[in-house]
């Protein structure tokens, strides 16, 4: 039993415990260190991913920026990135077998895009399905309230996290925003950006900010249409592993944005690279 556990990393993603069952203890130890703070040794896994690594000349593969746009599905089998990762899903057994080219594990942040779809696969299998999405955002808990700072690469998510190190930083790259117990919450994920001292926690969502760099701090409320049009681009597309049909997905994402903007204050935040942006947020009447 101990030998088996030494080859396993039980990883918390939202409400799910996913077991990464590796072919050797070194790889499992790497994942356990990489996802420190999100490893659940004492919980039975909700889903098992048996992970095999295929060695090959590293220069033989050009790493794509996104696995999500390169997926091919045939029956219960799937492939990403010209077979950088391929496998089969056996959902009734809560099990997935994957073979990963060694190059992909050299770029773990790209490999994590596969885990995004594992998360959505498990969500879609729940009845009723929770209203929950992965968001390109930095998440911070301040005075017991959760704040999400959304934006694409370079918008300042990691800067916000670094400047908020006195608070509880949930993540600087990907957070979960979900509807639960009648309100919206923001929750951490194990997925790594540049800020490593994130905490595994959640909080009621007090406000959402769309980020931009600025010479002076500036906080402007957004109209519903402006927010929905911009924020929907920061949602990780919620397709499960065996789906390539996004026909209804975008409608669900727009509905989620509409519900969110009706219940949570939303702003455009232009900020200077110092902690003074929190003074700007604290001074906003609707956030008191």
Q: What is the pLDDT of residues 76-118, one digit of tens each?
A: 999 998 788 999 999 999 999 999 998 888 888 889 999 999 9
Q: What is the pLDDT of residue 2?
A: 42
The pLDDT score that the predictor gives to residue 58 is: 58
- Is pLDDT at 32 greater than 80 in this prediction? yes
pLDDT at 153: 85
Domains with residue ranges and CATH for the chain: 2-124 (no CATH), 132-287 (3.90.228.20)
Which percentage of the chain shows pLDDT scores above 70?
96
Task: Read off the tokens for 233.
Answer: 């681009």
Kindly report the pTM of this predicted structure. 0.94
Residues 89-126 as b or e (16 or more Cβ within 10 Å = b): bebeeebbbbbbbebbbeeeebbbbbbbbbbbbbbbee
Cα–Cα distance between 170 and 186 in angstroms, integer? 9
Share of the chain above pLDDT 90, in %: 73
Q: How far apart are CA 61 and CA 101, in angstroms?
A: 9
């Amino acid at each position: 039993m101990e030998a088996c556990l030494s080859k396993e990393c039980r990883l918390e993603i939202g409400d799910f415990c996913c077991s990464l069952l590796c072919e050797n203890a070194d790889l499992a130890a790497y994942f356990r260190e990489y996802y420190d703070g999100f490893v659940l040794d004492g919980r039975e896994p909700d889903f098992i991913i048996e992970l095999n690594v295929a060695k090959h000349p590293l220069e033989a593969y050009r790493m794509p920026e996104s696995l999500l746009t390169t997926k091919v599905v045939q029956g219960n089998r799937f492939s990403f990135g010209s077979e950088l990762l391929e496998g089969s899903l056996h959902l009734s057994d809560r099990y997935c077998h994957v073979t990963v080219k060694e190059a992909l594990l050299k770029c773990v942040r790209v490999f994590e895009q596969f885990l995004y779809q594992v998360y959505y696969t498990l969500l879609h299998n729940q009845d009723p399905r929770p209203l929950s999405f992965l968001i390109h955002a930095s998440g911070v808990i301040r005075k017991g309230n959760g704040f999400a700072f959304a934006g694409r690469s370079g918008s300042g998510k990691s800067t916000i996290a670094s400047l908020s190190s006195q608070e509880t930083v949930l993540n600087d790259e990907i957070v979960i925003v979900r509807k639960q117990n009648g309100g919206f919450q923001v929750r951490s994920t194990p997925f790594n950006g540049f800020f490593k001292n994130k905490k595994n926690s959640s909080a009621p969502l007090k406000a959402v900010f769309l980020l931009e760099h600025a010479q002076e701090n500036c906080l402007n409320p957004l109209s519903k249409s402006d927010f929905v049009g911009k924020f929907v681009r920061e949602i990780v597309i919620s397709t499960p592993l065996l789906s390539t049909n996004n026909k209804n997905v975008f409608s669900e994402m727009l509905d989620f944005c509409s519900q969110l903007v009706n219940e949570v204050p939303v702003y455009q935040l232009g900020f200077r690279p110092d902690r003074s942006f929190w003074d700007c947020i604290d001074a906003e009447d609707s956030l008191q």
